[in-house]
């Protein structure tokens, strides 16, 4: 439950009153919107752009060569 909010002017008079029903409606609408944006499917690995890998291979060729003998 949300309580009504009173927004006041610097002189102390009430500028605006936000009712609890509108605050609750806005809260749950924002909550549902953010929940719907969440995806449970993920690949688990982030892909590296090909140009980055190519650039790193050119700069550090000895790092990526593995010799098992």
Confidence at residue 29, expressed as pLDDT on a 0 to 100 scale: 95
> Is 56 a member of any domain?
no
15 in a domain, yes or no?
yes
Please report whether residue 28 resides in a domain: yes
* 43, part of any domain: no
Number of domains comprising the chain: 1
pTM (2 decimals)? Answer: 0.49
- Specify if 63 maps to a domain: no
β-strands 5-8, 14-18 pairing:
antiparallel
**Domain limits for position 29:** 1-37
In the predicted structure, residue 69 carries a pLDDT above the cut 60: no
What pLDDT digit, counting tens, does each position of 2-55 carry?
A: 899 999 999 999 999 999 999 999 999 999 999 988 877 766 677 788 888 888
Q: What is the pLDDT of residue 65?
A: 57
């Amino acid at each position: 439950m949300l309580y009504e909010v009173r927004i006041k002017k610097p002189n102390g008079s009430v500028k605006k009153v936000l009712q609890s029903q509108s605050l609750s409606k806005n809260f749950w609408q924002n909550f549902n919107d953010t929940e719907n944006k969440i995806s449970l499917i993920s690949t688990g690995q982030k892909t590296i752009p090909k140009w980055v890998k190519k650039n790193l291979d050119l700069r550090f060729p000895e790092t990526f060569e593995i010799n098992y003998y």
